[in-house]
Amino acid sequence: MSAELEPTVHPEAEREVEILAAEKEVYPPSEEVVARANVPNYMEVREEANKDFIAFWDARAKEFIDWYEPYEKVLDDSNAPFFKWFVGGKTNIAHNALDRHVHTWRRNKLALIWEGENGELRTFSYFRLWQEVKRFANVLRSMGVKKGDTVTIYMGRVPELAIAMLASAKIGAIHSVVYGGFSEQALADRIEDAQSRVLVTCDGAWLRGKTVNLKDIADEALKRSPVVETVIVYQRTGQEVNMEQGRDYWWHELMNLPIASPRCETEVMDAEDPLFILYTSGTTGKPKGVLHTCGGYQVYIATTLKYAFDLKDEDRWWCAADPGWITGHSYIVYAPLILGVTGFMYEGAPNYPYPNRWWQLIEKYAINVFYTAPTAIRGLMRFGEAWPNRHDLSSLRLLGTVGEPINPEAWRWYYRVIGKERCPIIDTWWQTETGGFMITPTPVVPLKPGSATIPFAGIDADVVREDGTPCDPNEDGYLVVKRPWPGMARTVWGDPDRYVAQYWSEFKAQGWYFTGDSARKDSDGYFWIIGRMDDVIKVSGYRLGTAEIESALVSHKDVAEAAVIGVPDELKGNVIYAFCILNAGVSKDDGLVDELKQHVRREVGPIAVPAAIEFVDSLPKTRSGKIMRRLLKAQVLGQDAGDTSTLAD
């Protein structure tokens, strides 16, 4: 076991009680749901896939994706863990998402419906989205962006975010989307690591009737990371912003120039060429750029969306995540377009101006399939049933959740109040690194509230002990994946050693992928995710690393050392609790607590702000100098500290 990982401790004792209670509560699929399913015989398909996963993925690659040139081999595992999928195949995700549809009846079908927080409505047919993407691709090309270059995208939730991603993909550039809720240092670090010469951003973003000054934040980040030469600014709020001559250009002005022509060839990409980098937090140090590639990723996200959410051509699909996280990349932008369905995107918060906003949108746009995070469900649940009950939600056919374990109480509320006991709940367990759903039901799989159910077809996931032996039913252990899958991350951008160390060294002898999660399987083989075993904290489903928050805290002049832990919270899943050792002579007052919170907000972003900051004189460390967060956590929760034999003093 590596020094970074500590034994499975999850003070989430409540989850334990919940699991035991919900394990026996089974919801079989209704006849109606099975009759409509895309893959009614999924259990047999899955069994076949598990016998021959190569054949399964080969068939899916042919079913869902067009290839300019066929691949020679489905999987090359000769250099594990650097797997290659669909070796030699030539393709482009923008071709599969757009180009091919405009030559079919889908040309005039809606690809994207967007509503702004202010009620503004914009719609894009496949044809129009295709035109916009081609024009912006030409703008990028005219700015000197070539195949293999990185483009950083830092925007609010507007259609242009998807357009910028698709345009990059179309010309073979590698996008790195930074979530619009991140701030100066977080953005600067990501630009620096990706070495992007081009940044696409907005003047501002709307949030609860106010604006967030994205361009100001970007300006500050660019001072810290001066690699960017060109900034393209999409005007969303119309607020006053600084435009630097020769560096900053307005999106709408560029798109009105002759360079923005709608004639644009799609770059032919190798299946293993990079498609995008997405930064995410891991066990130690700065966030790492998880790399996904052009071939396998497409196959994987299209298959999983089609099977798990049972999408049909006539469906309206709403994934209410942010495009800046993997959920948005895979299931707002790319997979729905590959499948040719109509997606919906909403700019604002679920409870603004009133707690019925989402339910109102479901009714207004007749959404059929809706996918969100447990934290959002818990948040809306608090406002009571009257809000959803004012709306006609009968268009809904399936519901989904992602991002953190859903507590059975929230599951039941979602099932009863929103889905009216008709809609299966698709609880999808997966990660930035997995590209798409890994453990998930499909509509024909019997459900248990709080369980992500069973591994997807072709996926060999398991719960094991430290030595790799399988856990007994209901014994907590390490969640691992025992064989490769097409959507897997290929490396950490610029740091292949870290890729190996982070994911492939826990169970090196066996050659398994370690997820960083602890889980258990019940006697029916259903998976129950417990939580992260490493220094990743999930706050409202957002993935944060302790290291990034700690380095923000110590970058403040008064802080000498900091340690950050996640503490269970009813609404957010976890909240951040920070311990700081102050420099000598600094007084420990409440004013400083507020100042430090502001400092973290400015450096990393609002989601990283600690709920509490405690000033201490020392931090518990191992003899090798590693902070023992487990002890801090036990202290906050008033629990027994357990084994302290490795404590330095």
Does residue 527 touch ligand WTA according to CB under 6 A? no
List the interface residues with ligand WTA, window 224-253 (CB under 6 A). none
Nearer to ligand WTA, 272 or 517 (CB): 517
Does residue 281 touch ligand WTA according to CB under 6 A? no
Q: Kindly tell me which residue out of 260, 529, 596, 608 binds ligand WTA, with binding defined by CB under 6 A.
A: 529
Q: 604: which strand partners? A: none
Structure-token pair, residue 597: 């919170």
Does residue 427 touch ligand WTA according to CB under 6 A? yes
Encoded amino acid at 145, one letter:
V
Q: CB of 401: closest distance to ligand WTA in angstroms?
A: 6
Pairing type for strands 90-91 and 269-270 reads antiparallel
Count of residues near ligand WTA by CB under 6 A = 22
Does residue 543 touch ligand WTA according to CB under 6 A? yes
Nearer to ligand WTA, 4 or 614 (CB): 4
Does residue 548 touch ligand WTA according to CB under 6 A? no
Q: Which residues contact 235 (CB under 8 A, 6 or more apart)?
A: 202, 203, 250, 251, 252
Does residue 517 touch ligand WTA according to CB under 6 A? yes
Q: CB of 438: closest distance to ligand WTA in angstroms?
A: 9
Structure-token pair, residue 578: 């920070």
Does residue 430 touch ligand WTA according to CB under 6 A? yes
Report in angstroms the alpha-carbon separations of 373 from 16, 338, 486, 541: 21, 23, 25, 7
Stretch that binds ligand WTA, among 126-134, 151-159, 408-416, 429-437 (CB under 6 A): 429-437
Nearer to ligand WTA, 375 or 431 (CB): 431
Structure-token pair, residue 158: 């507007």
Alpha-carbon distance 450 to 83, whole Å?
Answer: 33
Does residue 568 touch ligand WTA according to CB under 6 A? no
Does residue 538 touch ligand WTA according to CB under 6 A? yes
Does residue 92 touch ligand WTA according to CB under 6 A? no
Does residue 378 touch ligand WTA according to CB under 6 A? no
List the interface residues with ligand WTA, window 300-339 (CB under 6 A). 325-327
Does residue 372 touch ligand WTA according to CB under 6 A? no
Stretch that binds ligand WTA, among 331-339, 398-406, 412-420, 638-646 (CB under 6 A): 398-406
Structure-token pair, residue 107: 């040309």
Alpha-carbon distance 56 to 457, whole Å?
Answer: 8
Nearer to ligand WTA, 49 or 326 (CB): 326
Does residue 403 touch ligand WTA according to CB under 6 A? yes
Nearer to ligand WTA, 181 or 403 (CB): 403
Does residue 15 touch ligand WTA according to CB under 6 A? no
Stretch that binds ligand WTA, among 7-15, 19-27, 254-262, 397-405 (CB under 6 A): 397-405
Among 427, 406, 424, smallest CA distance to 415 is for 424
Q: CB of 17: closest distance to ligand WTA in angstroms?
A: 17
Does residue 484 touch ligand WTA according to CB under 6 A? no
Q: Kindly tell me which residue out of 196, 298, 431, 502 binds ligand WTA, with binding defined by CB under 6 A.
A: 431
Helix/strand/coil (H/E/C) assignment for every residue in 323-388: CCCHHHHHHHHHHHHHHCCEEEEECCCCCCCCCCHHHHHHHHHCCCEEEECHHHHHHHHCCCCHHH
Alpha-carbon distance 157 to 328, whole Å?
Answer: 10
Does residue 405 touch ligand WTA according to CB under 6 A? yes
Nearer to ligand WTA, 269 or 536 (CB): 536
Q: In what order do the strands lie in the sheet with 461-464?
A: 461-464, 477-481, 513-521, 527-532
Q: CB of 122: closest distance to ligand WTA in angstroms?
A: 27
Alpha-carbon distance 86 to 106, whole Å?
Answer: 27
Q: CB of 85: closest distance to ligand WTA in angstroms?
A: 20
Specify the DSSP element, H or E, that contains 549. Answer: helix 546-554
Q: CB of 625: closest distance to ligand WTA in angstroms?
A: 27
Does residue 18 touch ligand WTA according to CB under 6 A? no
- Please check whether residue 149 is in contact with residue 174, taking contact to mean a CB–CB distance below 8 angstroms: yes
Does residue 432 touch ligand WTA according to CB under 6 A? yes
- Please check whether residue 247 is in contact with residue 223, taking contact to mean a CB–CB distance below 8 angstroms: no
Q: Kindly tell me which residue out of 67, 429, 514, 577 binds ligand WTA, with binding defined by CB under 6 A.
A: 429
Alpha-carbon distance 49 to 57, whole Å?
Answer: 8
Site string for ligand WTA, 437-476 (x = CB under 6 A): ---------------x------------------------
* 8-state DSSP, 405: P
Nearer to ligand WTA, 138 or 546 (CB): 546
Among 439, 442, 409, smallest CA distance to 425 is for 442
Among 170, 102, 182, smallest CA distance to 136 is for 170
Structure-token pair, residue 49: 């896939």
Does residue 402 touch ligand WTA according to CB under 6 A? yes
Report in angstroms the alpha-carbon separations of 82 from 330, 459, 486, 513: 22, 18, 12, 12
For 41-118, where are the E strands, in sequence order?
73-76, 84-87, 90-91, 110-115
Nearer to ligand WTA, 248 or 534 (CB): 534
Site string for ligand WTA, 486-515 (x = CB under 6 A): -----------------------------x
Alpha-carbon distance 57 to 65, whole Å?
Answer: 11
Site string for ligand WTA, 190-209 (x = CB under 6 A): --------------------
Residues forming contacts to ligand WTA in the complex (CB under 6 A) are: 280, 325-327, 402-405, 427-432, 452, 515-517, 529, 532, 538, 543
